[in-house]
């Protein structure tokens, strides 16, 4: 009989902490809702003790998400666990995930303790977390390089202390498949109370083995895979959720397991995470890459024409991609847009039809025809625009010659309107000079890129920027048929993110929290 493998997504914790620019609370919530639609069992959404922003985002997501269990990470310290529980308290059900290093190199070099001390700290941490919830996960950090005798002792002690899930991470992506399989097999053979806990795995991709090791662990009895959308995460990333889920789905008879993932949400969730995290998916990426279902070889094309399964072991439709592209015009009514969104897999709760339809009409007037990918881009950016906006562009104008550009920008700052003019070495530079003067934020633009959302000369242009303010980097996006407008919107997105990050920090400034660099003491 097929057993269920729990899918534990850590895109908003392990994945987000590796990004060049932090996500806003609203962006994290948008991803969390996407993960909920995808059907993940557990989503790890942050490390609350690390910053006021992380605390706020965990608390917001815990309040909003109902169909997936929300989880937060903590070190094996009472204060960390208390803060995690406080952040998670709005959730109907939640999980506290606490961890400590167990490998010899980590115990001796990082923690500078004995293994007996670490064992005691792990047990105390689990017991402390059980005061808040009966769903406690314990991780043996760097388990892949931990001596098996010590790993067995730690796992047994954590389960006795009340851990309902015990995670075995290959933290540095070091193990080969046969080695990792042997670790999981040994635990099931040697730990007497292992039947009282779910064994989980969290594999990193430093040697490109994360998915293979995760699936190998499942064959040995692990029943939870920790993963991220598009494999984002520290260094070379984590086990890719879409790859692990589709392996289990495609080879379910061979593996004897299944997941609760809604596979037709995979493509949409991948795109959402890629755009919000500003991390493009490589074209040859398995499952969700642009080339994943393309066939160039003449022999392959001939086989596909005769029978699709000659060279496709899964279909684009199985992950939510549609081959049909319906072009719409400004004469298309609201009911047509609503019907098309339903065909694309969106429910009425995913968007505001009034706002989407107005954005569609504006775009249709400029382009003439609007395609499916345009509608999805409009939906994405309309959801993004729902964030509170202290700073808003009212008008902008640019004159550009061969040597100099002049821009005029009118902005609203709360209840105040300010107009500013400036020159620059190009139209975007001139606009950015205006916006900087109006808002007073001196930023350093570290990355600026333009990509096409769609096809042809009338495609929407998406501008992504990464801007440094103080010690932090913020990501901003803009979408328009005019890349000058898109560039301005991207910078204003950054400035609003900074403004609201400041508000959160002020709100939490009296909260005493240890820094992430602090050693376990």
What is the domain-level CATH number for residue 403?
A: 3.30.160.270
Closest by CA to 151, choosing from 194, 87, 208, 109, is: 194
Indicate whether 370 and 490 sit together in one domain.
no
Instruction: Decide the pairing of beta strands 69-75 and 42-44.
Output: parallel
Indicate whether 272 and 353 sit together in one domain.
no
H helices of 200-258, in order, are 210-219, 241-250, 252-255
Instruction: For residue 461, tell me if it sits in a domain.
Output: yes
Instruction: For residue 503, tell me if it sits in a domain.
Output: yes
Indicate whether 370 and 405 sit together in one domain.
no
Apex 43 CA angle, 22 and 495, nearest 5: 20
Indicate whether 344 and 396 sit together in one domain.
no
Q: How far apart are CA 351 and CA 341, in angstroms?
A: 9
Where do we find the tokens 């666990």? Answer: 81
Indicate whether 376 and 422 sit together in one domain.
no
Instruction: For residue 295, tell me if it sits in a domain.
Output: no
Instruction: For residue 434, tell me if it sits in a domain.
Output: yes
Instruction: For residue 377, tell me if it sits in a domain.
Output: yes
Indicate whether 260 and 354 sit together in one domain.
no
Indicate whether 162 and 45 sit together in one domain.
yes
Indicate whether 378 and 405 sit together in one domain.
no
Q: Which run of H or of E encompasses 427?
A: helix 427-439
Indicate whether 161 and 136 sit together in one domain.
yes
**Which of 242, 261, 277 is the C-terminal boundary of a domain?**
277
**Which of 353, 385, 417 is the C-terminal boundary of a domain?**
385
**Considering its fold, how many domains does the chain have in total?**
3
Q: Domain of 409?
A: 391-507
Indicate whether 195 and 124 sit together in one domain.
yes
**Which of 254, 277, 300 is the C-terminal boundary of a domain?**
277
What is the domain-level CATH number for residue 271?
A: 3.20.20.70
Instruction: For residue 321, tell me if it sits in a domain.
Output: no
Per-residue pLDDT of the chain (521 residues; tens, 9 = 90+): 799 999 999 999 999 988 988 898 989 999 999 999 999 999 999 999 999 989 999 999 999 999 999 999 999 999 999 999 999 999 999 999 999 999 999 999 999 999 999 999 999 999 999 999 999 999 999 999 999 999 999 999 999 999 999 999 999 999 999 999 999 999 999 999 999 999 999 999 999 999 999 999 999 999 999 999 999 999 999 999 999 999 999 999 999 999 999 999 999 999 999 999 999 999 999 999 988 886 444 444 444 444 555 657 888 889 988 755 556 777 788 888 888 888 777 888 888 888 888 888 888 887 777 877 788 878 877 776 666 688 999 999 999 877 789 999 999 998 899 999 999 999 999 999 999 999 999 899 999 999 888 766 667 889 999 999 988 899 999 988 889 999 999 999 999 888 888 887 777 665 544 444 333 32
Instruction: Decide the pairing of beta strands 416-424 and 405-413.
Output: antiparallel
Q: How far is CA 12 from the centre of its chain?
A: 5
Q: How many CB atoms lie within 10 A of CB 336?
A: 15
Please, are residues 141 and 172 in contact by the beta-carbon 8 Å criterion?
no
Indicate whether 270 and 398 sit together in one domain.
no
| pTM for this predicted structure | 0.85
Indicate whether 481 and 345 sit together in one domain.
no
């Amino acid at each position: 009989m097929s057993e269920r493998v729990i899918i534990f997504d850590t895109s908003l914790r392990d994945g987000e902490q590796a990004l060049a620019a932090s996500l806003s609370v609203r962006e994290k919530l948008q991803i969390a809702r996407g993960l909920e639609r995808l059907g993940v069992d557990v989503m790890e959404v942050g490390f609350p003790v690390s910053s006021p922003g992380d605390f706020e985002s965990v608390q917001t997501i815990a309040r909003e998400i109902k169909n997936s269990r929300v989880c937060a990470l903590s070190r094996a310290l009472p204060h960390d666990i208390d803060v995690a529980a406080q952040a998670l308290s709005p959730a109907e059900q939640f999980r506290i995930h606490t961890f400590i290093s167990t490998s010899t190199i980590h115990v001796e070099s990082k923690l500078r303790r004995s293994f007996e001390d670490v064992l005691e700290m792990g047990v105390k941490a689990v017991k402390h977390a059980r005061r808040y919830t009966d769903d406690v996960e314990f991780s043996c950090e760097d388990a892949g390089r931990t001596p098996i005798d010590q790993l067995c002792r730690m796992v047994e002690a954590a389960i006795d202390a009340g851990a309902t899930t015990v995670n075995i991470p290959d933290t540095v992506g070091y193990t080969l498949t046969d080695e990792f399989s042997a670790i999981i097999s040994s635990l099931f053979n040697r730990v007497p109370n292992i039947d009282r806990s779910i064994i989980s795995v969290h594999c990193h991709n430093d040697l490109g083995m994360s998915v293979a090791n995760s699936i190998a662990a499942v064959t040995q009895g692990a029943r939870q895979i920790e993963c991220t959308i598009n494999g984002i995460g520290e260094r070379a990333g984590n086990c890719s959720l879409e790859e692990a889920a589709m392996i289990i789905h495609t080879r379910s008879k061979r593996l004897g397991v299944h997941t609760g993932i809604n596979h037709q949400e995979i493509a949409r969730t991948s795109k959402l995470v890629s755009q919000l995290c500003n991390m493009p998916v490589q074209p040859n990426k398995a499952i969700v890459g642009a080339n994943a279902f393309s066939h160039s070889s003449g022999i392959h094309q001939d086989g596909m024409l005769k029978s699709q399964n000659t060279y496709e072991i899964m279909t684009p439709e199985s992950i939510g991609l549609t081959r049909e592209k319906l072009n719409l015009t400004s004469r298309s009514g609201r009911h047509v847009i609503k019907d098309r969104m339903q065909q694309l897999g969106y429910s009425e709760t995913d968007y505001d039809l009034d706002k989407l339809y107005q954005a569609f009409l504006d775009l249709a007037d400029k382009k003439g025809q609007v395609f499916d990918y345009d509608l999805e881009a409009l939906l994405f950016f309309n959801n993004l625009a729902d964030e509170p906006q202290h700073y808003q562009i009212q008008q902008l104008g640019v004159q550009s010659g061969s040597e100099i550009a002049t821009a005029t920008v009118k902005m609203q700052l709360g209840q105040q309107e300010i107009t500013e003019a400036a020159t620059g070495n190009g139209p975007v530079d001139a606009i950015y000079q205006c916006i900087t003067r109006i808002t007073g934020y001196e930023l350093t633009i570290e990355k600026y890129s333009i990509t096409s959302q769609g096809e042809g000369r009338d495609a929407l242009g998406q501008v992504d920027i990464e801007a440094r303010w103080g010690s932090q980097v913020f990501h901003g996006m803009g979408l328009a048929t005019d890349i000058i407008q898109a560039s301005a919107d991207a910078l204003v997105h950054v400035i609003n993110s900074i403004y609201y990050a400041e508000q959160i920090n002020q709100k939490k400034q009296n909260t005493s929290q240890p820094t992430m660099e602090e050693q376990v003491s």
